[in-house]
Amino acid sequence: MVNDQNQYGEYDQDKRKLLSSLSHGAIFISTLLVSVLIPLGILLVSDDPVVKENARESLNFHLNIWVYEAIFGALAVILIGLPFLGLVVLVSWVMPVLAIIKVFADPNHSYRYPFIFRLL
């Protein structure tokens, strides 16, 4: 078995960037279940604490987006939720891109989405 740590106890930066960005970018996969299974699988398999935190944050973001879409989708029936639903869709595209950019810029720190409830 290949050890992911070098002699100084640091994790492989390229692997960390790849797995962290894959966790955040999974939301772009249109299949609902697959987009959650990717960060969940990374969370369960990885032993890198930064990758695990990025996967956990990605799962929290997914859950928050689903809740907001359900609430504003229900409110869209009476036309109150339409602007908010549009905002949620925009945020669900912009925030993961910012997270991926941050992960590549500084792979030693996990990205924290603002204004979400952290359930995991």
Q: How far apart are CA 61 and CA 46, in angstroms?
A: 19
Q: Work out the mean pLDDT of the chain and round it to a whole number.
A: 89
Where in the chain are the domains?
13-105
| Angle at alpha carbon of residue 21, lines to 65 and 27, rounded to 5° | 25
Q: Over the stretch 46-92, which tens digit does the pLDDT of each residue have?
A: 999 999 999 999 999 999 999 998 999 888 888 888 899 889 989 99
Structure tokens at 108: 């030693």
Q: How far apart are CA 15 and CA 63, in angstroms?
A: 25
Task: Look up residue 76 and give its DSSP letter.
Answer: H
Is residue 3 over pLDDT 60?
Answer: no
This prediction's pTM? 0.86
Structure tokens at 97: 């891109």
Q: Which residues have a Cβ under 8 Å from the Cβ of 25 and sit 6 or more positions away?
A: 96, 100
